[in-house]
Amino acid sequence: MRQASVERVTKETSIKVDVNLDGTGEYTVSTGIGFLDHMLEQLSRHSLMDLNVEARGDLHIDFHHTTEDTGIAIGEAVSKAMGDRAGITRFGHATIPMDETLSRVTLDASNRPYLIWKVDFSKPKLGDMDTELFKEWFQAFAQGAGLTLHVENVYGENNHHIVESCFKAVARALRQAISIDPRKADAVPSTKGVLGGSL
């Protein structure tokens, strides 16, 4: 079982994350930010990655530090659980509809982090959460997990649907990318023999 735990403690946040990449999508999430909890639950359920997140942060200031550091910690746990990434399918793609909204994600679990974010919002907040923080979460997650991550909202009107379809698309693409390829279960999927570093 590919499992990992990460603890991240700073003057701004204290976060503990447990992941099981070969799980069934079970989750326990508590960040103090209701909408972020909802999105992380979607990430777990649709990737089939078991996810436990316990985060405390300086929410009296704003949600930025907790959002970003949660992305970093979950990403680092995913990377740690993949180990040397031998046997993974590596690439993943998903296009997810949600009512009037369509979002698509393509990712490479290459250990070369990079984010392309083509998502716009018509409102500055969803509930109490600043919509600009979603890019921060995905940036931190891509960095921590070592993902080349392209997230695009093709069209949509409802901001809740736009964000949720992005998280679900990332989850489905991640599920594909981290799955073990039975034809090459013992090999790192790269002609270099290692993932990461230069092209």
- Residue 187, pLDDT score: 59
Domains: count for the chain: 1
The answer, yes or no, to whether residue 145 has pLDDT greater than 60, is yes
Instruction: Please determine, for residue 199, whether its predicted confidence score (pLDDT) is greater than 50.
Output: no
Mean pLDDT of the chain: 94
Q: Is 161 inside a domain boundary?
A: yes
pLDDT at 79: 97
Write the DSSP assignment of the chain as a string of letters.
--EEEEEEE-SSEEEEEEEETTS-S-EEEE-S-HHHHHHHHHHHHHHT-EEEEEEEE-TTT-SHHHHHHHHHHHHHHHHHHHTT-TTB--EEEEEEEETTEEEEEEEE-SS--EEEEE---SSSEETTEETTHHHHHHHHHHHHHT-EEEEEEEE-S-HHHHHHHHHHHHHHHHHHHHSB-TTSTTS-SSTTSS-SS--
Question: In terms of residue numbers, what domain contains 26?
Answer: 3-178
pLDDT exceeds cutoff 50 at 188: yes
Q: For 2-11, how does the pLDDT look when each residue is reduced to its tens digit (9 = 90+)?
A: 999 999 999 9
Q: Is there a domain that residue 188 lies in? A: no
Residue 23 within any structural domain of the chain: yes
Arithmetic mean of pLDDT, 34-62? 97
pLDDT for 181 equals: 87
pLDDT at 1: 80
Q: Is residue 126 over pLDDT 50?
A: yes
| 196 domain residue, yes or no | no
Residue 197 is assigned to a structural domain of this protein: no
184 in any annotated domain: no
CATH code for the domain in which residue 51 is found: 3.30.230.40
Specify if 58 maps to a domain. yes
pLDDT at 197 (0 to 100): 58
Mean pLDDT across 18-24: 98
Please check whether residue 187 lies inside any domain of the structure.
no
